[in-house]
């Protein structure tokens, strides 16, 4: 097909549509290859599901989850005692500290003195920062977390797809103004939008193996999910229930319900993490969907 002087941008509608469809698919695949190398690694690294601590599982979600999981463990082990408006060290726990990161969080709370730190303040504590960096380095060496450099690089994929969307929208608007719209371009834009949402939804901090590992861990512990009915009934934590792991994998509801005074002191509210999407699928991001205690509606599954 040859273009005429009246064609928008000098390209006929059918020719642009064909080129745009090719650009969408090829652009996604090429950008994914360039900007998301962590998604090309092995799916299974042979890491046992019981090899990681609850803060490590939490860090695979987000940094706050690692701190909240450690707080839950310290409360369960008797190292911290919660009271209205205050959560302080108990002097001696019922069992040894599980990891150096637990010790760092406990030290940060103790060093705060009469001041009650929140989770965000604990994240900024130098001791916690140092131990979290050590923990992150361990997970990177295991192959479940990407390096910060690769995590930044991975933003190239959604940015490329955003540019593809912008090009399609610009041509659609220009065609409308020129009296020669490409209505079929709307369908192409729809598919481009799906690819773009998938690109934004992928957890950039996790490797392919990391996504698989945390998904398998969550599936192996369905009893740790706190449902809406459980939240309404006032769950207080049963014997043998691993509250720290529940916080790391699924959100803070178990901690809020089992230790309400301590959770309030740390500024922790009900939060539910969404499922980790697999590579190439759309869905919630690494941070997961969340809701506060005042806004848990039908959209916040338990």
Q: With helix as H, strand as E and coil as C, how does 31-79 read?
A: HHHHHCHHHHCCCCCCCCCCCCCHHHHHHCCCHHHHHHHHHHHHHHCCC
Residue 165 has what pLDDT? 95
- Angstrom distance (rounded) from CA 61 to CA 246: 12
- HSE, CB side, 13 Å, CA atoms: give it for residue 234: 1
Give pTM, 2 decimals: 0.75
One pLDDT digit (tens) per residue for the chain, 302 residues:
444 446 778 788 889 999 999 999 999 999 988 887 766 777 778 889 899 999 999 999 999 999 999 999 999 998 998 888 788 888 777 788 999 999 999 999 999 888 899 999 999 999 999 999 999 999 999 999 998 888 888 899 899 999 999 999 999 898 888 887 777 889 999 999 999 998 888 788 888 889 899 999 999 998 888 766 555 555 555 445 789 999 999 999 889 988 999 999 999 988 888 666 554 443 333 333 444 443 333 333 33
> Strands, E, within 73-225: which ranges?
80-83, 86-89
> What DSSP designation does 272 have?
B
Return the pLDDT at 6.
61
Q: What pLDDT shows up at residue 7?
A: 78
């Amino acid at each position: 097909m040859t273009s005429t002087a009246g064609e928008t941008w000098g390209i006929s509608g059918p020719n642009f549509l064909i080129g745009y469809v090719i650009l969408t698919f090829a652009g996604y695949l090429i950008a994914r290859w360039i900007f998301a190398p962590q998604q090309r690694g092995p799916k299974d690294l042979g890491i046992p599901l019981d090899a990681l601590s609850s803060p490590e599982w939490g860090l695979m979600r987000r940094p706050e989850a690692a701190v909240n999981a450690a707080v839950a463990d310290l409360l369960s082990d008797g190292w911290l005692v919660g009271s209205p408006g205050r959560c302080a060290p108990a002097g001696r726990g019922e069992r040894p500290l599980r990891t150096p990161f637990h010790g760092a969080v406990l030290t940060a709370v103790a060093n705060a003195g009469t001041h009650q730190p929140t989770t965000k303040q604990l994240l900024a504590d130098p001791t916690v920062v140092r131990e979290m960096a050590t923990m992150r380095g361990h997970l990177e060496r295991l192959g479940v977390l990407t390096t910060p450099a690769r995590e930044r690089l991975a933003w190239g994929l959604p940015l490329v797809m955003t540019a593809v969307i912008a090009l399609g929208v610009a041509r659609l608007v220009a065609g409308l103004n020129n009296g020669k719209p490409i209505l079929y371009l709307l369908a192409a834009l729809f598919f481009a939008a799906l690819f773009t949402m998938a690109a934004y939804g992928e957890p950039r901090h996790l490797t392919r193996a990391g996504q698989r590992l945390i998904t398998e861990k969550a599936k192996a512990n369905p009893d740790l999910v706190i449902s809406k009915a459980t939240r309404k009934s006032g769950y207080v934590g049963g014997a043998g229930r691993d509250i720290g792991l529940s916080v790391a994998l699924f959100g803070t509801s178990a901690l809020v319900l089992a230790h309400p005074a301590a959770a309030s002191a740390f500024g922790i509210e009900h939060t539910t993490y969404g499922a980790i999407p697999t590579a190439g699928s759309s869905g919630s991001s690494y941070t997961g969907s969340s809701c506060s205690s005042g806004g848990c509606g039908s959209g916040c599954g338990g």
